[in-house]
Copies of this chain bind each other. A is one copy, B any other.
Amino acid sequence: MEGDPPLRLRVFDLNCWAIRYLSKRRQERVGLIGDTVRREGFDLVLLQEVWSEQDYSDLKSKLGSCYPFSHYFRSGVIGSGLCVFSRFPILDTLLYQYSLNGYPYMLQHGDWFCGKSVGLVVIKISGIVFNVYVTHLHAEYCREKDAYLPHRLVQAWELAQFIRHTSKAADVVLLGGDLNMHPEDVGIRLLRGWTGLRDAFAEAARFEGCENGCTLIPKNCFALKTELLPFPLGIRIDYVLYKVTEGARPPACEELKTTKGTAPGMDIPFSDHEAVMATLHIQRQGQAAGATPSTAEPMLVDVVTEARTEVDVGLRAARRQRYSTGRMAVLALLLLLVQAVAALGALAGLGSGQPFPKLSFSLLAFLAIGVLLLATGLHLFHTMEVKMLQGTEEQMRMALRALQEQP
């Protein structure tokens, strides 16, 4: 296939911010996204935060004629929010739900209910097999004191491992999504180092869009200005990453574009995020050795070590929470037992009458039951959290050993 003209692939990636009842002007924006994507005729459209299946269905009926193939990934209570529209047949799909994703009781953040995942669709274009991944990692609510960093690192690691293990037969690997990490963050370095993925923004021959490729900018009328105060230009957290595994010359990124606070030719944005649009050139050639993690990134040992340290910090915090919730459950249980003994004593006429007024006694018992249930639930949750952090920490340790043993 060496003589074939290169394949030109146009990819659209966007976090759509389409939360039913909460996101502003949602239906109008989803309609606008559909119109633009239909008009522009991309090859692949990777969307995140399409939380409502109705929105997906609306997009599907609008895009059916130019993107006859699509897939919506279901998971969690609310959903994964991930979907893919493709001009080329989707041959297969797989969903991997991250083992950790925040806390169910952090209702104001709500990530836990979303079942954050990575979705894989396999497509074949002119004989080239593409493994296309779409994902959305846990949000960062406070950069200074980021309580979710260990969870996001576990997700970045699982994402990297999932891509490595599932992409061995693919010619091209493509990942699009809202990674909720700045380009220099340890999670991005880990993901890129461990998989060998290239950043389309860094590789692009031509760039047009927000300065530094930012995808969350203060100029966007829906973006939370307070979160962006330390970053007057905005931040880059949405990515298109790619690599070839074997048998192909590394794809070239001909052009990368982002929207700049409004949808093209409109006065409102698609979303609170900017869209990322990449044009890739892919040429098949003879056998070329796939880049192994070690050759692609000599600093990988440092990156994995740094990530492992952060996971370890999270592990210690999770262990403390597991302990304190367990202790609270035991205390509530003891209180209930004491009450039961007192009530039995009163029934058997041992004491001189009822020691407490009935109302307070019942209220206390109900309170103890409530605390017991809640603390037990939290204890179970943190037990799972500890296990998952431990598991990732151990995998990273194994990876480090393998890296260090390499010549």
Range of interface residues on chain A?
35 or more
A373 to chain B: closest CB distance in Å?
A: 8
- Contact string, A143-181, partner B, CB cutoff 8 A, digits 1/0? 000000000000000000110111011000000000000
Q: Which chain A residues (320-348) contact chain B, with CB distance < 8 Å? A: none
From B92, B99, B387, B394, give the contact of A79 (CB < 8 A): B387
Q: Is the CB of A74 within 8 A of B359?
A: no
The CA-CA distance from A168 to B161 in the complex, in Å, is 15
Q: Is A285 an interface residue (CB 8 A)?
A: no
Chain B residues within an 8 Å CB radius of A387:
74-76, 79, 115
Q: Is A229 an interface residue (CB 8 A)?
A: no
Q: Which chain A residues (361-379) contact chain B, with CB distance < 8 Å? A: 362-363, 366, 369-370, 373
Chain B residues within an 8 Å CB radius of A115:
384, 387
Q: Is the CB of A94 within 8 A of B380?
A: no
Q: Is A395 an interface residue (CB 8 A)?
A: yes
- Contact string, A85-112, partner B, CB cutoff 8 A, digits 1/0? 0000011111111010000000000000
Q: Is A390 an interface residue (CB 8 A)?
A: yes
Q: Is the CB of A77 within 8 A of B359?
A: no
The CA-CA distance from A162 to B97 in the complex, in Å, is 12
The CA-CA distance from A388 to B96 in the complex, in Å, is 12
Q: Is A391 an interface residue (CB 8 A)?
A: yes
Closest residue of chain B to A357, judged by CB? Answer: B359
The secondary-structure label for the interface of chain A is helix
Q: Is the CB of B166 within 8 A of A380?
A: no
A90 to chain B: closest CB distance in Å?
A: 7
Chain B residues within an 8 Å CB radius of A370:
369-370
Q: Is the CB of A165 within 8 A of B94?
A: yes
Q: Which chain A residues (183-216) contact chain B, with CB distance < 8 Å? A: none
A241 to chain B: closest CB distance in Å?
A: 19
The CA-CA distance from A93 to B95 in the complex, in Å, is 18
Q: Is the CB of A99 within 8 A of B75?
A: yes
From B73, B90, B99, B120, give the contact of A165 (CB < 8 A): B120
Q: Is A398 an interface residue (CB 8 A)?
A: yes
Chain B residues within an 8 Å CB radius of A390:
74
Q: Is A113 an interface residue (CB 8 A)?
A: yes
Closest residue of chain B to A387, judged by CB? Answer: B74
Q: Is A228 an interface residue (CB 8 A)?
A: no
From B164, B165, B166, B362, give the contact of A359 (CB < 8 A): B362
A128 to chain B: closest CB distance in Å?
A: 15
Chain B residues within an 8 Å CB radius of A373:
373
Chain B residues within an 8 Å CB radius of A97:
97, 99
The CA-CA distance from A161 to B95 in the complex, in Å, is 10
Interface residues of A (CB under 8 A from B): 73-77, 79, 90-97, 99, 113, 115, 120, 161-162, 164-166, 168-169, 358-359, 362-363, 366, 369-370, 373, 380, 383-384, 387-388, 390-391, 394-395, 398-399, 402
Q: List 7 A-B contacts (CB under 8 A).
A: A74-B388, A79-B387, A92-B165, A92-B398, A95-B99, A97-B97, A168-B169
Q: Other than A75-B384, A92-B398, A370-B370, give 17 A-B pairs with Cβ distance below 8 A.
A: A73-B391, A75-B99, A75-B391, A76-B384, A77-B380, A77-B384, A92-B164, A93-B395, A94-B162, A94-B165, A97-B97, A115-B384, A165-B165, A168-B169, A359-B362, A362-B362, A362-B366
